[in-house]
Structure 1
Amino acid sequence: MATAYISTPLGSAKLEGDENGLNTVTVLEQDEPESKIIPDVLIDAAYQLNEYFEGKRQNFDLLLNPEGTEFQKKVWSLLSEIPYGKTLSYLELSRRLGDVKAIRAVASANGKNPLWIIIPCHRVIGSDGSLTGYAGGLHRKKWLLNHESPSRQQSLF
């Protein structure tokens, strides 16, 4: 498994993957030095993430290989369908999965998303429009949603 560290406006991000695809993108609580050499299997991911933060990319075109249960992968697939600049509630995500009673399981799968930003779990909010738990911290979720907002001069939250 190849590893690289990149700098983002939200802190250091750790990228891991191999020839089968990108396995994880994690935001770190402590900064790491940016990798001087990015392994070949991670170059596209690093490049596309940088474009995202520069406001030049709204969709990712990468080979993904996250590890998780079949249920988690179904949830992550649904998360990937949430358009840039849009949000969806946990309840609506459960509905799309076909079981509104699975809301807690959906929230749990969302929290275990191994591909920060690439699979946009930050776009899931509470039914009342509130910011709810985010593995990377609510301050990062707020930043990401504002970054993707069509009118960036105003804060969504």
Structure 2
Amino acid sequence: MYKKILVAVDGSHCSDLALDQAIGLAATCGAELQVVHVIDNGYLKYDMGYVDLTDLRAGLIKGGEELLAQAREKAKAGHVSCKTVMVDEILALGDIAHQIRQLVESSGAQLVVIGTHGRHGMRRLLLGSVAESLVRLCPVPVLLVRAPEET
């Protein structure tokens, strides 16, 4: 069925659930898993005056590397072949869905798995939705893994 599955991780509970689903699917299909983390450079869109962003960028990159290392270990424990990719494109200015779509096209992924909070109404409008944008942009099927509603 699927030979290459791409899963996006960001450290949230939703993305942890998506990673678990992707590992299970990859194991069932005998597929290679590609785990991607996109550095969110959206903060660059806002004028913050003179601020040295060196430490912030270094922290984002280090956090991304740690997320990918954890994902790699989880995939290994699930006996799934796994590659990891960190995308750090400053000029994208936080357009994460577009970054993932480009990676899907260049990698040959046949399925994308991504977590979603399932927000709606004003919360979705205010916060945006990478998952929703990806569903509209992506040329391959997208599996949305929704976190249980918080009580």
TM-score of the superposed pair, with normalisation by structure 1? 0.28
Greater helix share, structure number: 2
